[in-house]
Structure 1
Amino acid sequence: MSFDAAIEGRTIRCRIGTDRALKAPVFCYSLMAANRPMSGGVLVRSVAGYSEVALPDLSAGALHEVVLEHVDPEYRPRNRAWLPLGPYLRHAGGVDPLPPLPSGVISGEAPEPPPCPGLRLVPPPQSWAAATGVADARGGFSTRSHLLDGVEALAGRLNLGPFLRGSLALRLHHDPTLVAEGYRLEIGAAGVDLTHGDATGAFYGGVTLLQLKATHEGMIPCGAIEDAPRFGWRGQHLDCARHFYRPETILRLMDLMALFKLNRLHWHFADDEAFRLEVDCLPDLWRKTAYRGEGELVPGVFGGGIRSGGSYSKGDVATVLERSAALHIGVLPEIEVPAHAFAFNQAVPGLRDPGDNGAEISIQGYAQNVLNPALEATWDTLIPLAEEVAGLFPMRMLHLGCDELPPGAWEGSPLVTALKAREGLAGRDEVQGWMMERLAGHLAARGIRPAAWEEAAKGAQGGIGHEALMFSWTGQGPGIAAARMGHDVVMCPAQKVYFDMAHTGDADDWGAAWAAFVNLEETVNWSPVPKGAEDVAHRIVGVQGCFWSEFTTADAEIEPMIAPRILGLACKAWEPDGLTSGPRLRELAGALGPVFDTAGWTRHRTP
């Protein structure tokens, strides 16, 4: 078998070769969104971006061409990631994979890094007073404290040791007047004094020394650092629904986060494509959706191919939580309601109004991907699920989703029509707001703080309420509006910190493009509290990067998408506004390049 494809304007030209005769072949593949053949075959099935195109019988040695286009004329293929993912042929004799196209970022030779004068530390500290001389830490530090055991373990996993097996004296001091997570370092040629207010501050002081040791080749400049984070929420999101990442990959990501003082992992394991957490209250949900592909409830969307996937056991959760505790990282789980529930509806029947004759389609092309709040069965399912998932995680917080409700949702449901009349709800946003407020209220009464995407604040009645933490993703405007409603807000604008976005507009690059092309400088070229929002600055409590996995076909593909852009995220989440400019970030990224390499983390290398 052979397969290749190329972008030609708005179309994608595919060529399929076979070394033997095939009867009734069907070309199965996935694109970014709903699509159709312009020539070469007949569309016989479509689920979101997944399509099945019937081809004519193929003779041995045949080379058959199929030309595809997206249904939505606004979708124009941008780069290699928009070519068919997970392609295979189903035919009278069985199922055969087609050779996958080259996937992920193509790493070339690293450009010559620019000079990086000054302290080579990300995020830069709030205050640095340089002194004369250097501290020789090439052999590592010596301390009697066990507060840095987590840093020692991190150094070993990142190949940045030795750290605590050397001779340079490292003395720890407790000062309860320091702010949470803050620390002070006095670096001298004869030794280092690390003052901390809490265990996390001690950990971050140790991480600073670990990073400086690596970036200054063991010869750390002498001086004094006063440091503390600007925001309490410094997050990185990972979409494990579109692609199942091995638990080891999640652990590696948390190690990288800790090196740059990020402290929240947003674990997104539920979406239209799967629910990947093993829960006792609803075993069919994860058992029936953990895998997708040929013969599964969910076909091979987003590169699922013939069969792919997996689920996370409670043992996996325990492993992630053990690592997160050692790294001072909190883990936020997310379920998805009311939309992005295609897999949910496939696995758990009875959560849609049987009289619903609506034809709503989600932005990614899914039909019937919304749960119905007018059914008691929905609540009998959601409440135990939400309670069990939240109960697995020490943060006592649950992200409820609530993004991208399809236009026309529930308009064909007689039960929702009756609900609107009974509750005085005017439209879909108010129905969604009513649903979110009810679910959030149930959780809040049990000491679980709700969180949600920005859309949960919609509705004339005020939306979700209950001091929910809101995540502003389409831009910063919705976050400012939510803050003025009294919500705490985490800023994660797609135009700046969505790391699934392609770095450049080059057709040979990799990634999404609907929000922007996000180069390294853009990750710091913004303010979490934009001009004119000073009145709600106290409500902006954090910054978070997001990685969505529609284009991901292998775990390693996330690495050059995240690195080095995670450095910009770390700066915005920690430092005073505007401290690091785009050019300075590029200097720091050059200095940190060898650290990524030593840690075995592939980084994006284009200029």
Structure 2
Amino acid sequence: MHYDSRITGDTITCVFTPERNLIAPVFCFSGMGPFEAVSGGTVMKTLGSYTEIALPNLAAGDAYELVIQYAGGFKPANRAWLPLGPYLRCGKEIIALPIPESGCRPQVLPDLGPVEGLPLVPQPQSWAASEGVLETSGFACDSPAFESAAALATRRGWSFVGDTEVTVEHADLPEDAYELEVSTDGVILRAGGFGGEFYGAITLLTLLQHGSLPCGVIKDAPRFAWRGQHLDTARHFYEPQTILDLLDLMALLKFNRFHWHFADDEAFRLEIECFPELWQKTALCGEGHLLPALFSGAIEAGGSYSKDTARKIIAHAKALNIEVMPEIEVPAHAIALTHVFPELRDPSDNGAEVSVQGYKGNAVNPAIARTWDVLEAIMAEVGALFPFQHLHLGCDELPEGTWMGSPLARDLMKREGLETTDDLQGWMMQKLGAKTVENGQRPCAWEEAAKGSNGGIANGAILFSWTGQGPGLEAARNGYDVVMSPAQHIYLDMAQTSDKDDWGANWAAFVSLTDTINWEPVPDADLAERIIGVQGTFWSEFTTEDNQLWPMLMPRMLGVSSKAWQTECVGADGLIRLAHVYNDLPGAEVWTG
């Protein structure tokens, strides 16, 4: 079977050339969003971006064209927007179709010459050079933090352990801050605790890869306490080893928060005990499964994470000074929940709301007692598994008009004096936030959780500002702690260029390495105490294999690291120079693709 797809202006042309006659074939696939047929076929079924299109009988050897387009005004930006996981169904027969080359091609950055200063990302707060260099093949230190750095070096195949003594001295320094004094006789590391010692060791590990170490004093401390990276494992199931490799990369760049997004419309991938059917029925997607989304590029794909696997990931992260925050994602982005538990929806709801991803009715209903039974059980079990004691509740992209067609919801709103969808969402999130606190965790949510006549989720929640900085600034003015994650700068699933041959989304912007540092996380100095961090984000709608992750993240994670750690960044040219330095490190192919 020969199959090809290509972008033709604002549409996509798919060409089928069978080797034998096919009777009543149905074309099945997913993509970046909902599809419509322009010519050559009839849409039979949709669920989100998953689409089935009936084709006429196909004759052997004849090329047949189907023209499709994205619904809602979306236009294909690049190869990532072509049909994903395509196959034909002919009666009971499944015919896999050839998959075009997928994934981002690593960006070639200009060579701007040598790095000015130390070859480190993030750059240290200060560096005072002295005469001489320390010639060494590695370091000796009995600190647990050094042991963690040495284990990381071993996993990466880098040299680190040797005979040069590192003396660790306790100092009254902020969390994660450190001082390094390098002389021809050895190294003195001053820190106030594990985090500072670990980052001092990471700095030595990085510098060692370039040979001798210049003598001098490094004084370093992070600008923000929250330096995060998010990964969506709901749309694409990443092998546990890939997540461990990501944590290693994060540690090298001095990130300290991993936002684990394992639940969404497409799947709930953590193997919880309170409702095993939730992950058992959604872990695999594709032909014959409850949820047919095919983002992973196969007829059947997916997986789930056992609690033992989660504990391994948590322990691995902890050794790298990284805390893991889980996200359960409510009230919207919940098709997985509502398909497994249809009783979480009002059967009399006649609303027509549809999510931007094309899902109809993807929000659980807060007016139903069963909704609270299910959510509170999930919150308690998931929260108890993660020692960080932060639980992200989701709360993004609730479709306009949600619950307005539900008699049960309308009755609840009348009793509680609520008028709008946002009011009901705010009421719901405040209750969920209070329950999170009762369970011993701090609630977290996306920016929309601040909406509602009640002022939003409250309960000391941390909000993540993603559509831009504006909602985050407003939330900070209203007393929320905020982590800045503006899509226009640090959503690393965005394509890096406008080239049709590139890979990634573009709804927010095309995000280059330079774009990752061309913004100020705290544009209003009066809000400095409320803006607690910076976090990069990666969504996986178009990821078909794990190894496609690395050239999307790198080198742009260098920019996220710089904004999260430094008060003043090195500038675009300096970051490009540093990117070359990091690409030259031994083992760099592990995370640059």
TM-score interval, normalised by the smaller of the two chains: over 0.9
Structure 2 CA distance for aligned equivalents of residues 44 and 109 of structure 1 = 43
One of 247, 254, 257 as aligned partner of 1:254? 247
SS class of match (1:368): coil
Shift of 1:581: 1.1
| Cα contact 2:31–2:541 (8 A) shared by 1 | no
Q: Kindly report which structure 2 residues correspond to 1:371-520, keeping only aligned pairs within 5 A, or say none.
A: 371-520=364-513
Shift of 1:397: 1.1
Structure 2 CA distance for aligned equivalents of residues 343 and 460 of structure 1 = 29
One of 166, 181, 186 as aligned partner of 1:186? 181
Q: Which amino acid aligns with 1:95?
A: I
Structure 2 CA distance for aligned equivalents of residues 442 and 562 of structure 1 = 35
The answer to whether 1:36 aligns with 2:36 is yes
Structure 2 CA distance for aligned equivalents of residues 303 and 76 of structure 1 = 21
The answer to whether 1:168 aligns with 2:140 is no
Q: Which residue of 2 aligns with 1:126?
A: 125
Structure 2 CA distance for aligned equivalents of residues 12 and 146 of structure 1 = 55
Q: Which residue of 2 aligns with 1:85?
A: 84
Q: Which amino acid aligns with 1:131?
A: S
The answer to whether 1:309 aligns with 2:299 is no
Shift of 1:111: 4.9
Shift of 1:348: 1.3
SS class of match (1:95): strand
Q: Which amino acid aligns with 1:158?
A: R
Shift of 1:92: 2.6
Q: Which residue of 2 aligns with 1:2?
A: 2
| Cα contact 1:289–1:297 (8 A) shared by 2 | yes
One of 196, 221, 231 as aligned partner of 2:191? 196
One of 323, 333, 345 as aligned partner of 1:340? 333
The answer to whether 1:68 aligns with 2:74 is no
Structure 1 CA distance for aligned equivalents of residues 220 and 110 of structure 2 = 32
Structure 1 CA distance for aligned equivalents of residues 591 and 322 of structure 2 = 23
| Cα contact 1:237–1:547 (8 A) shared by 2 | yes
Residues 230-254 of structure 1: per-residue CA shift (max 9 Å, x gap): 1110000000000000000000000
Normalising by structure 2, we get a TM-score of: 0.98
Pair 1:498–1:213, CA change in 2 (3 A): same
The answer to whether 1:54 aligns with 2:54 is yes
Shift of 1:38: 1.1
SS class of match (1:5): strand
Q: Which amino acid aligns with 2:57?
A: D
Shift of 1:71: 1.7
Q: Which residue of 2 aligns with 1:547?
A: 538
Q: Which residue of 2 aligns with 1:106?
A: 105
The answer to whether 1:579 aligns with 2:548 is no
Structure 1 CA distance for aligned equivalents of residues 196 and 349 of structure 2 = 55
Residues 312-333 of structure 1: per-residue CA shift (max 9 Å, x gap): 0011111101101111100000
| Cα contact 1:113–1:590 (8 A) shared by 2 | no
**Alignment coverage as a number of residue pairs:** 593
Q: Which amino acid aligns with 2:101?
A: P
Q: Which amino acid aligns with 1:510?
A: W
The answer to whether 1:141 aligns with 2:139 is yes
Structure 1 CA distance for aligned equivalents of residues 589 and 308 of structure 2 = 26
Shift of 1:460: 1.3
Q: Kindly report which structure 2 residues correspond to 1:518-597, keeping only aligned pairs within 5 A, or say none.
A: 518-530=511-523, 533-576=524-567, 578-595=568-585
Q: Which residue of 1 aligns with 2:13?
A: 13
Pair 1:146–1:267, CA change in 2 (3 A): closer
Q: Which residue of 2 aligns with 1:116?
A: 115
Q: Which residue of 2 aligns with 1:150?
A: 148
Structure 1 CA distance for aligned equivalents of residues 223 and 279 of structure 2 = 39
| Cα contact 1:147–1:199 (8 A) shared by 2 | yes
| Structure 2 gap ranges (5+) | none
Structure 1 CA distance for aligned equivalents of residues 204 and 261 of structure 2 = 32
Q: Which amino acid aligns with 1:580?
A: V
Shift of 1:446: 2.6
| Cα contact 1:114–1:590 (8 A) shared by 2 | no
Residues 476-527 of structure 1: per-residue CA shift (max 9 Å, x gap): 1100111111110000000010000001111111000000111101111111
Residues 508-559 of structure 1: per-residue CA shift (max 9 Å, x gap): 11000000111101111111101xx221110000100000001100000010
SS class of match (2:529): helix
| Cα contact 2:110–2:576 (8 A) shared by 1 | no
| Cα contact 2:77–2:506 (8 A) shared by 1 | yes
Structure 2 CA distance for aligned equivalents of residues 109 and 208 of structure 1 = 26
Residues 185-231 of structure 1: per-residue CA shift (max 9 Å, x gap): 001122111111101111110000001112xx221111100111111
| Cα contact 2:450–2:475 (8 A) shared by 1 | yes
| Cα contact 1:134–1:222 (8 A) shared by 2 | yes
Pair 1:108–1:438, CA change in 2 (3 A): closer
Shift of 1:602: 4.5
Q: Which residue of 2 aligns with 1:354?
A: 347
More deviation in 273-282 or 59-68?
A: 59-68
Pair 1:326–1:17, CA change in 2 (3 A): same
| Structure 1 gap ranges (5+) | none
Residues 20-64 of structure 1: per-residue CA shift (max 9 Å, x gap): 221111111112111111111111111111111111112222321
Normalising by structure 1, we get a TM-score of: 0.96
One of 313, 331, 354 as aligned partner of 1:320? 313
Q: Which residue of 2 aligns with 1:598?
A: 587
Q: Kindly report which structure 2 residues correspond to 1:241-280, keeping only aligned pairs within 5 A, or say none.
A: 241-280=234-273
Q: Kindly report which structure 2 residues correspond to 1:221-260, keeping only aligned pairs within 5 A, or say none.
A: 221-260=214-253
Report the aligned-residue RMSD: 1.3
| Cα contact 1:25–1:57 (8 A) shared by 2 | yes
Structure 2 CA distance for aligned equivalents of residues 159 and 17 of structure 1 = 47
More deviation in 340-349 or 257-266?
A: 340-349
Residues 57-82 of structure 1: per-residue CA shift (max 9 Å, x gap): 12222321111111212x11110101
SS class of match (2:151): helix
Structure 2 CA distance for aligned equivalents of residues 509 and 423 of structure 1 = 50
Residues 129-181 of structure 1: per-residue CA shift (max 9 Å, x gap): 011221113x11123444310000001111222x12x2222211112x11111
